[in-house]
């Protein structure tokens, strides 16, 4: 029978631990990647092609869950951690209007959506009403007496 060497026993025990550690690491990396989700990014421009700062980009999924972002000074935006699915993208900015855009995003996809706004027609109305008040300019005497 051979002699028992403790350093060989320790090395043999470390190998399964190292392999399981590597497998655990890859499993965590896969979960982290799956949890990151899709990203919706792009730009919002005016009719002349200039970026619109401080426009609100509103993203709504089929269940009605709303996520939003505000554009930066150059009109860019980014919304991360979205689940895969269908979304409706709307942009709201003072003095502008845009149609809703339907977007389908796959898991871990980065989708670019550029929105060009139109000048919004400003409608303003002023209602002035008046009524006539009858005020006599002169008043006749109520009675006439003769002498």
| Euclidean distance between CA atoms 7 and 93, whole angstroms | 71
**Following CA atoms 26, 104, 69, 121 in sequence, which dihedral angle do they give, to the nearest 10 degrees?**
170
Per residue in 60-114, pLDDT (tens digit) is 998 999 999 999 999 999 999 999 999 999 999 999 999 999 999 999 999 999 9
| Euclidean distance between CA atoms 89 and 38, whole angstroms | 15
DSSP letters, 101-116, are EEEEE-TT-EEEEEEE
Per residue in 112-146, pLDDT (tens digit) is 999 999 998 766 667 777 777 776 666 555 566 66
Q: Helix, strand, coil proportions of the chain in percent (round to 5)?
A: 20, 35, 45
Residue ranges covered by each domain of the chain: 1-36, 37-119
Q: How confident is the model at residue 39 (pLDDT cuts 50, 70, 90)?
A: very high
DSSP state of 139: -
- Mean pLDDT (whole number) for 7-13: 53
pTM tops 0.75, yes or no:
no
Q: Which fold has domain 37-119?
A: Immunoglobulin-like (2.60.40)
Q: Taking all residues of the chain, what is their mean pLDDT, rounded to a whole number? A: 80
Q: Do residues 80 and 35 make contact, with C-beta atoms less than 8 angstroms apart?
A: no
């Amino acid at each position: 029978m051979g002699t028992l060497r403790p350093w060989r026993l320790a090395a043999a025990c470390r190998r399964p631990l190292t392999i399981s550690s590597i497998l655990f690491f890859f499993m965590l990396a896969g979960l982290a990647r799956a949890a990151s989700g899709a990203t919706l990014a792009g730009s919002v421009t005016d009719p002349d092609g200039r970026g619109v700062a401080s426009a609100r980009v509103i993203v709504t999924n089929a269940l009605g869950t709303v996520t939003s972002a505000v554009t930066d000074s150059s009109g860019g935006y980014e919304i991360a951690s979205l689940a895969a699915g269908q979304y409706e993208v709307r942009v709201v900015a003072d003095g502008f209007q845009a149609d809703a855009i339907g977007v389908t995003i796959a898991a871990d996809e980065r989708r670019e959506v550029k929105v060009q706004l139109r000048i919004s027609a400003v409608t303003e109305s002023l209602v002035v009403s008046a009524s006539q008040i009858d005020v006599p300019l002169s008043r006749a005497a109520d009675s006439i007496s003769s002498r």
